[in-house]
Amino acid sequence: MILLLATAAWAECPADPLGEALVQAGKVEGSYVNMDDAKFADARGKLDAALACLNAEVSPSDAVAIHRARAIGSYVDGQESAARRSWLAVKSLQPDWQPSADLMPVGHPMRKLWETPMEGGSPMVPQELAPPGGWSVDGTRQNMVPAQRAYVLQGFSATGAVVYTGYLYQASEVPTSLPVDLVPTRRVRAEGNAAPTIHVVGSAAAGVFAIGGVGGLMLGSSFSNKAGEATDDLEATKLLGRSRTASVAGYGLLGAAVLVGGVTWVVPW
């Protein structure tokens, strides 16, 4: 898995990372066809560097170009499964595209990878966690990712800034932490969900704690007043002790009421 953080401060980023990535993706394909090993290696390295700096949202056509370059690179590295997943992404995004004979001659091993379908296809898997601005998969905003094919995943902040770009090969590779906190995607509760019961029970418990807290504070105040009226020092000391105990209990119960009430209504059950 290649994780590409858009915030990689150590990288020397081009002025237009997305434009540079697309240029280098084209060079990867061209240098492979021309069998120019030096230019091929150079283009692959620059493509990786540009993707690490990516600060703009890719389009579906941009994603196709990246997938093609990645598929070729994986094939050259002997990673057939990864290459097949990348070619499956190309097929999914651009069904009408066909590889040229220069790129994949008939009977060529890479053409066989192109032609061999992924067993079980590539169903979409919903993601419960997403950055504040959501995910984009191959240039389409959605919180579902392919289960078995490669995809360009981008995450966004609440203001729409790109906070993550990754080239992933399956659903299990989606990150669970980012430069910004992940937040749970709100799910629609199914009919019959126990959430209403939780709210009723939680509210009742919060009410009981609140009543007990008020009662404790009132009792503490009563003890304090009696201590002020007492003529015997020992009796006054005992009353003050009871006052403090009742007051502490009252504040504790009020705190419990606030906590239970907050958890009951803020947490999405």
- For the stretch 150-176, pLDDT in tens is 999 999 999 999 999 999 999 999 988
Q: How confident is the model at residue 216 (pLDDT cuts 50, 70, 90)?
A: low
For residue 139, what pLDDT band results from cuts at 50, 70 and 90? very high
Q: What is the pLDDT of residues 68-92, one digit of tens each?
A: 999 999 999 999 999 999 999 999 9
In this structure, the answer to whether residues 136 and 157 fall within a common structural domain is yes
Same structural domain, 178 and 202: no
Residue 2 binned pLDDT confidence (cut-offs 50, 70, 90): very low
Give the model's pLDDT for residue 43. Answer: 97
Number of domains in the chain: 2
3-state secondary structure of 205: helix
pLDDT at residue 248, rounded to an integer: 74
Q: Would you state the torsion angle of the CA atoms of residues 99, 89, 70, 119, taken in this order, to the nearest 10 degrees?
A: -90
**Same-domain status, 167 and 239:** no
For residues 200 and 172, state if they share a domain.
Answer: no
- The range of the structural domain enclosing residue 202 comes to 195-266
Same domain, 93 and 199: no
| pTM exceeding 0.85 | no
Q: Is residue 30 in some structural domain?
A: yes
In terms of pLDDT, which residue wins out, 12 or 66? Answer: 66
- Are 223 and 200 members of one domain? yes
Q: What is the DSSP string of 108-139?
A: -HHHHHHHSPPTT---EEE-SEE-TT-EEETT
Residue with tokens 């009919």: 191
Do 178 and 245 lie in one domain? The reply is no
Q: What is the pLDDT of residue 150?
A: 95
Q: Is residue 44 domain-shared with residue 96, that is, in the same domain? A: yes
